[in-house]
A and B are shown apart, each in its own frame.
Chain A
Amino acid sequence: EPEVTQTPSHQVTQMGQEVILRCVPISNHLYFYWYRQILGQKVEFLVSFYNNEISEKSEIFDDQFSVERPDGSNFTLKIRSTKLEDSAMYFCASSEAPGGAQETQYFGPGTRLLVL
């Protein structure tokens, strides 16, 4: 069964450093998403992406965040200058079509980011 993959599974970085989280969505999917979950809190929507553009973003997704589809297979989340509060599990997801109720989002296993 096709699956979404994410690398790395764990990332430790120093505050102020840039990190890039990588995702390989399912190959025929066109819509991509990032969510995050701070330890003990809810999974929160960050951004959705389609046709090389951001479709929607949350208030969390400020100027330090960016997303990119650098080639036909990868989808990345960049955090330019990490803060302690960016420590969280980051989930990538993809879907075939706009995430209406009839479309399933497939999630990756997550990248656990720890900012020291």
Chain B
Amino acid sequence: GNSVTQMEGPVTLSEEAFLTINCTYTASGYPSLFWYVQYPGEGLQLLLKATKADDKGSNKGFEATYRKETTSFHLEKGSVQVSDSAVYFCALMTTDSWGKFQFGAGTQVVVTP
């Protein structure tokens, strides 16, 4: 079956540090890949997505590239801010299950001043 594995947190960083959150997936066919972010007290918000191999999603300084050869979709940001403290979820959706996300467990990121 389909699954998403992401690195465990919490990840604690200083402001302006480089952030990487690893995400790998197992899926049949060609899934679309997503990163969602949940700020404290809020719902999950779409951060970025990629729908085919080698696509790069980007938003708010975050980037992730769909790597089919390594079945990965790692999230990166070059210089984090305190406001990036949140829980980040990697997710996939396949063409045979539109509307049904398969999420990873989430990675909490804590950025300190």
Contact = CB atoms under 8 A, between A and B. Distances in A.
B56 to A, nearest CB: 15
A95 interface: yes
Interface in A38-88: 40-45, 48, 55-56, 58
B49 to A, nearest CB: 7
A41 B46 contact: no
Interface string B84-103: 00000101010001111111
A95 B34 CA distance: 15
A104 B105 contact: no
B100 A98 contact: no
Nearest to B101: A45
Contact of B43 (A33, A56, A104, A108): A108
B101 A35 contact: yes
Given A104-B46, A109-B42, A45 B32 contact: no
A45 to B, nearest CB: 5
A3 interface: yes
A42 B103 contact: yes
B97 A56 contact: yes
Nearest to B103: A43
B98 A100 contact: yes
Given A101-B51, A107-B44, A42 B105 contact: yes
A101 B43 contact: no
Contacts of A107: 36, 43-45
Given A42-B4, A43-B44, 15 more contacts: A4-B43, A31-B99, A35-B101, A42-B103, A42-B104, A43-B89, A43-B106, A56-B100, A98-B98, A99-B93, A99-B100, A100-B98, A104-B46, A106-B43, A109-B43
